[in-house]
Amino acid sequence: MAETLSTLDVPLRWVNDNRKVHQGIDTRFFLFSQQDEHVLVQQPVKEESGLAAESVATTDTTPTGRRTTLTRSQDVRVPRSQRVSSRPDDRYILLKKYEGFVTSRGERSFTARLFEDSRDYPVIEAEFDLEEISETDRQLAIEGAALVWTIGYGYSGSTRKRESAIYLRRLFPWSEKEIAEARQAASELTCGIQWE
């Protein structure tokens, strides 16, 4: 079915005009109601002196009195329409997602402990070939490293394909404050257990 042309709004605005689209501190959804928008940006364009008479400076600086014309280029800011889209162009259906961490690493493979969410018990252990992850990620697959394993359907045009992806997380080390808070939470949890 052909998309209906929208007459709701004119999708063209100055890039620094926040009145219409960016109302207050709204963080909803995507940036624009149409997801595609043309914004007018002031783009600097070099304009040579021959085209801009006011930018030409003429001086008489040589001992011989020969006239020297200094040619100076001037930055002119010209409005230019720029298409900006907040519409992502992939399609993917998530079937399963596991989070976990690496428990050991060998020469060609590594083992990870994985769970679907915090209520998932018992957790599963799985062994992966290092070849399953990209060359740059292999150095991250060390004991204790956090990872996410997703299984889903990706699309190439009308072709659906099953995908399995392992992503080694790029997390900054825990801060002292976070460690203290985690210890406190664990302690409260332990004390809260009613042993029969």
Partner 1 sequence: MSAINQILEAEELSVVIVGSFNPAIFHPEWFLRQKLISDQDAKEARINVVSSQVTDVQLCGIKLVCFPDRFSLGTSNISHAARIQDLLVQIFTLLPHTPIKACGINLVAHFQVNSVEYWHKIDHTLAPKQLIWNGLFERPGMQSLVIKAPREGGFPGEINIAVEPLPQYPPWIVVVRSNYHYGLPADSVHVGATELLLTFLKREWDTACGMARRVANTILDKIKPDHG
The Cα 142–Cα 40 span in angstroms is 48
Nearest to 145 by CA among 111, 119, 184, 176: 111
Contact string (CB under 8 A) for partner 1, positions 12-31, x = contact: ---xx-x---x--xxxxxxx
Q: Does 130 help bind partner 1 (rule: CB under 8 A)?
A: no
Shortest spacing between CB 158 and partner 1, in angstroms: 14
Backbone angles phi, psi at 101, to 5 degrees: -150, 155
Instruction: Indicate whether 43 belongs to the interface with partner 1 (CB under 8 A).
Output: yes
172 binds partner 1 (CB under 8 A): yes
Which window, 54-62, 68-76, 87-95, 102-110, contacts partner 1 (CB under 8 A)?
A: 87-95
103: number of Cβ within 10 Å: 15
Of 45, 51, 70, 93, the residue at the interface with partner 1 (CB under 8 A) is: 93
* Residue of 115, 145, 116, 149 lying closest to 132 (CA atoms): 149
What is the enclosing helix (H) or strand (E) of 190? helix 176-192
Q: Distances from the Cα of 160 to the Cαs of 30, 90, 152, 189, in angstroms? A: 26, 12, 10, 45
- Residue 90 touches partner 1, criterion: CB under 8 A: yes
Query: What's the longest Cα–Cα distance across the chain?
Result: 108
Between 172 and 195, CB nearer to partner 1: 172
* Smallest separation (angstroms) from partner 1 to the CB of 102: 15
Q: Compute how many residues bind partner 1; rule: CB under 8 A.
A: 47
- Give the binding site for partner 1 (CB under 8 A): 1, 3-4, 15-16, 18, 22, 25-31, 39, 41-43, 82-86, 88-95, 97, 99, 117, 134, 136, 148, 150, 152, 154, 163, 165, 167, 169-172
